[in-house]
Amino acid sequence: MTTTLHFKRGELYSFITGQASTAIARRLQKKFNHASLNLTIEQWSVLYHLWKTDGISQQDLCNATFRDKPSITRLVDNLERLELVKRVPSDKDRRVNHIFLTDYGRSLRDKSMSIAEDTLNEALVGVPADKIETCKQVLQIVYNNLK
């Protein structure tokens, strides 16, 4: 008897391709569009961290969103074009940009978070709370194992 896991073929596909999270993201995007929220999920995920802590650096956003620097550069480019955020060069370290929400960016918080909660609740219909908890734990361990 051993605890070594051998994943059976045929069971690994959906884990690797992340079908569940893809489905969640698509549903959320559809709801954003339907609500005339002109936002991609990726842009929303950046705003999400700024709503928690406004004025963090691009590198902070890289760490928080699990993205690399070029991805954040372009996301911030697009968010600036949409007038949702503004780059402000740091006084103390001239390599650093601080990213600040505009009033408009701040204004999208409640509506979009509410839509995100609705989406997750739709996704989890029929799933008992204790199983959700277990699932979250497993995904957290996976993330820690690999990050």
Of 14-22, 32-40, 54-62, 90-98, the segment contacting a copy of itself by CB under 8 A is: 14-22
What are the b/e assignments for 55-79, b being 16+ CB within 10 Å? ebbbebbbebbebeeeebeebbeeb
- Taking the C-alpha atoms of residue 115 and residue 37, their distance in angstroms, rounded to an integer, is 10
- Taking the C-alpha atoms of residue 48 and residue 65, their distance in angstroms, rounded to an integer, is 9
* Contact flags string 61-100 toward a copy of itself, x per CB under 8 A: ----xx----------------------------------
Closer Cβ to a copy of itself, 83 or 122, answer by number: 122
To the nearest 10 degrees (0 to 180), the angle between helices 58-65 and 69-81 is 110
Of 2-10, 58-66, 120-128, 132-140, the segment contacting DNA by CB under 7 A is: 58-66
Site for DNA contains 15 (CB under 7 A): no
Closer Cβ to DNA, 98 or 109, answer by number: 98
Q: Name the residue type at position 114.
A: S
In the complex, which residues of this chain contact DNA (CB under 7 A)? 22, 26, 29-30, 33, 40, 42-43, 57-59, 62, 67-76, 78, 87, 93-97
